[in-house]
Amino acid sequence: MTNVTLYHNPRCSNSRGVLAILRERGIEPHIVEYLKTPPSRAELLALIAASGLSARELIRSKEALFTELGLDAPGTTEDALVDAMLAHPVLINRPIVVTAHGTRLCRPPELVREILPEA
């Protein structure tokens, strides 16, 4: 049994695409619908660190709320971005997949293959 966690939004086509790829490989992931069950600060910081991305790279900058909150202002700190994602989980980009082989923001969905065990 492969231990895979998918931070998932069922309304997102990329997220559904990753889930389909996992299931095609016979992997039934632990699904975290992060809009219903947001990560804690520690979990979000761990995801950011493990993915090798910054908070700025993981935030959904195309979400209207991003601009409404002024997060596009020069000098917005990583801490402020993390605070915004915690307060408004819709700002967390998805899908994020965690496996024993790494953590990835899987946009496009095919990126998930980079962190799956060999078939």
The total of structural domains in the chain comes to 2
Q: Tokens 């024993």 identify what position?
A: 100
On whether both 5 and 45 belong to a single domain, the answer is no
On whether both 106 and 69 belong to a single domain, the answer is no
On whether both 105 and 82 belong to a single domain, the answer is no
- CA pair distance 43, 78, nearest whole angstrom: 15
On whether both 108 and 82 belong to a single domain, the answer is no
Averaged pLDDT for residues 23-30: 96
What is the domain-level CATH number for residue 70?
3.40.30.10
Kindly give the pairing relationship between strand 30-33 and strand 96-99. unpaired
- CA pair distance 30, 69, nearest whole angstrom: 32
Can 106 be counted among the known catalytic residues?
A: no
- For the cut 80, the answer to whether the pLDDT of residue 71 exceeds it is yes
Among 2, 4, 10, 12, the active-site one is 12
Averaged pLDDT for residues 104-108: 97
pLDDT of residue 1: 46
- For the cut 80, the answer to whether the pLDDT of residue 2 exceeds it is no
- CA pair distance 92, 80, nearest whole angstrom: 13
- CA pair distance 45, 62, nearest whole angstrom: 21
What domain range is 102 assigned to? 1-34+94-119
On whether both 26 and 44 belong to a single domain, the answer is no
